[in-house]
């Protein structure tokens, strides 16, 4: 999905899993609805250890094409494993639902097939914090559920529907569950945002820098509900403002590595911005008069999302270097998580937050 979620900085993962003592929370799933999703939790792996399966504890190693070795014995792929109890541990991490191991292009693919409500409980503490206000946790549950359904429909019949990394939604199984996350999922059970007859593409990001962006300026795809709206509470986010200093030689090297035909830059000029203030066209010129033009999002991709936090920035020339100063974090499309946090703390309900950031959608009970 064009890496919609590369840049969310809040990666709070609950590391202490009291599996043996039975402290993992009751599954939030909706029994009987059959709403399941297939999540790619590992790819390109050569071996893994699983415990709590219907085949006991096993070690799986990649073997010849179409086969794996299970405790030393060759077995055909795909290999499907079911929980003996409540969870299967994959390399020590507990997952609800079933595990499927399939052949990938560069190693094994490990897929967790799980009911959507349980999947959501394993997302929330990776995307925000369950210590935030109840209404913002509910907001996150609804948009994560809607995003899951959107991708399940889009990839119907595929081996997996969504990745567990920043390329999809960050999911770490039952290890990320806690009471607040489970409660928010249960309180919003089955609620999704619809646009017409389809689940909306409920993309989100960390911090909009005060104004969200229209999807047409970021991904050249115009979704009627992914338009620019104000996000007035973003300033409460840590590192709301940021700066990045790039030496001319280093900037030139990075540009050339990305395939740009240019020497070390002498000038960097913002040529055009979107109505929301993000850099749409940036001109970079070298001493020989060569020029390349990139968007702010292109430059983020080239230099790294972790250091180049958003496409809202200005640039100043220093001695043999450029200083970029910006605000916000992320692509800016859809919901601002810190903006939603501020809205919840100022009395807005999760329904009001959702309809603010995705105007024109309808909050609906899917089950």
What pLDDT does residue 17 have?
34
CB 315 within 8 A of CB 338: no
Q: What are the CA-CA distances from residue 263 to residues 224, 285, 287, 300, 314 (Å)?
A: 41, 8, 7, 19, 22
- Residue 14 predicted with pLDDT over 80: no
| Rounded-to-integer distance, Cα 257 and Cα 117, Å | 42
pLDDT level of residue 28 (50, 70, 90 thresholds): low
Q: What is the pLDDT of residues 273-293, one digit of tens each?
A: 999 999 999 999 999 999 999
269 in any annotated domain: yes
What pLDDT does residue 8 have?
45
pLDDT level of residue 31 (50, 70, 90 thresholds): very low
CB 279 within 8 A of CB 311: yes
What pLDDT does residue 356 have?
98
249 in any annotated domain: yes
Angle in degrees, 0-180, between the axes of helices 134-154 and 179-187, rounded to the nearest 10: 70
pLDDT level of residue 167 (50, 70, 90 thresholds): confident
pLDDT level of residue 272 (50, 70, 90 thresholds): very high
Q: What's the pTM?
A: 0.88
199 in any annotated domain: no
- Residue 12 predicted with pLDDT over 80: no
201 in any annotated domain: no
147 in any annotated domain: no
What pLDDT does residue 166 have?
87
Total of domains in the chain: 1
- Residue 64 predicted with pLDDT over 90: no
Q: What is the pLDDT of residues 109-159, one digit of tens each?
A: 999 999 999 999 999 999 999 999 999 999 999 999 999 999 999 999 999
Mean pLDDT of 323-348: 97
| Rounded-to-integer distance, Cα 218 and Cα 302, Å | 15
What pLDDT does residue 262 have?
95
Mean pLDDT of 44-57: 96
Mean pLDDT of the chain, nearest integer: 91
Task: Please give the share of the chain, as a percent, with pLDDT higher than 70.
Answer: 91
274 in any annotated domain: yes
Q: Which among 337, 6, 12, 7 has a CA at the least distance from the CA of 175?
A: 12
What is the domain extent for residue 253? 241-327
165 in any annotated domain: no
Q: What is the pLDDT of residues 293-329, one digit of tens each?
A: 999 999 999 999 988 999 999 999 988 899 999 999 9
| Rounded-to-integer distance, Cα 83 and Cα 97, Å | 7
What pLDDT does residue 319 have?
81
The number of CA neighbours under 13 Å toward the Cβ of 251 is: 23
- Residue 3 predicted with pLDDT over 70: no
| Rounded-to-integer distance, Cα 245 and Cα 237, Å | 22
Q: Are strands 36-45 and 204-205 parallel, antiparallel or unpaired?
A: unpaired
Q: What is the pLDDT of residues 203-217, one digit of tens each?
A: 999 999 999 999 999
What pLDDT does residue 2 have?
36
Q: In what order do the strands lie in the sheet with 98-104?
A: 79-81, 98-104, 107-115, 36-45, 162-163
308 in any annotated domain: yes
| Rounded-to-integer distance, Cα 226 and Cα 186, Å | 27
The count of other CB atoms within 10 Å of the CB of residue 204 is 28
Q: What are the CA-CA distances from residue 227 to residues 7, 277, 333 (Å)?
A: 19, 13, 8
pLDDT level of residue 20 (50, 70, 90 thresholds): very low
| Rounded-to-integer distance, Cα 186 and Cα 312, Å | 37
């Amino acid at each position: 999905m064009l890496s919609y979620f590369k840049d969310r900085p809040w990666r709070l993962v609950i590391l202490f899993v009291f599996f043996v003592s039975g402290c993992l929370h009751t599954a939030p799933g909706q029994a009987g609805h059959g709403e399941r999703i297939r999540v790619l939790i590992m790819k390109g792996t050569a071996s893994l250890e699983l415990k709590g399966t219907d085949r006991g504890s096993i070690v799986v190693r990649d073997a010849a094409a179409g086969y794996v070795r299970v405790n030393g014995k060759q077995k055909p792929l795909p290999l499907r494993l079911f929980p003996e109890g409540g969870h299967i541990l994959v390399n020590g991490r507990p997952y609800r639902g079933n595990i499927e191991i399939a052949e990938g292009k560069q190693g094994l693919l490990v897929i967790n097939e799980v009911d959507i409500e349980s999947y959501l409980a394993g997302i929330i503490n990776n995307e925000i914090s369950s210590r935030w206000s109840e209404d913002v946790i509910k907001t996150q549950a609804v948009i994560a559920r809607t995003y899951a359904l959107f991708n399940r429909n889009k990839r119907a019949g595929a081996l997996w529907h969504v990745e567990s990394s920043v390329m999809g939604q960050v999911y770490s199984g039952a290890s990320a569950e806690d009471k607040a996350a489970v409660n928010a999922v249960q309180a919003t059970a089955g609620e999704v945002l619809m646009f017409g007859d389809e689940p909306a593409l409920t993309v989100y990001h960390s911090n909009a820098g005060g104004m969200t962006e229209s999807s047409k300026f970021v991904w050249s795809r115009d979704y009627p509900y992914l338009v620019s709206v104000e996000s007035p509470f973003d300033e409460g986010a840590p590192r709301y403002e940021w700066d990045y200093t790039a030496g001319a030689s280093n900037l030139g090297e990075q540009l050339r590595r990305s395939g740009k035909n240019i020497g070390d830059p002498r000038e960097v000029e913002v040529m055009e911005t979107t109505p929301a203030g993000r850099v749409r066209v940036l001109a970079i010129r070298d001493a020989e008069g060569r020029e390349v033009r990139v968007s702010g999002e292109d430059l983020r991709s080239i230099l790294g999302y972790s250091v180049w936090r958003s496409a809202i920035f200005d640039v100043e020339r220093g001695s043999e270097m450029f200083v970029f100063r910006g605000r916000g974090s992320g692509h800016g499309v859809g919901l601002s998580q810190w903006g939603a946090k501020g809205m919840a703390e100022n009395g807005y309900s999760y329904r009001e937050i959702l309809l603010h950031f995705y105007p024109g959608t309808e909050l609906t009970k899917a089950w």
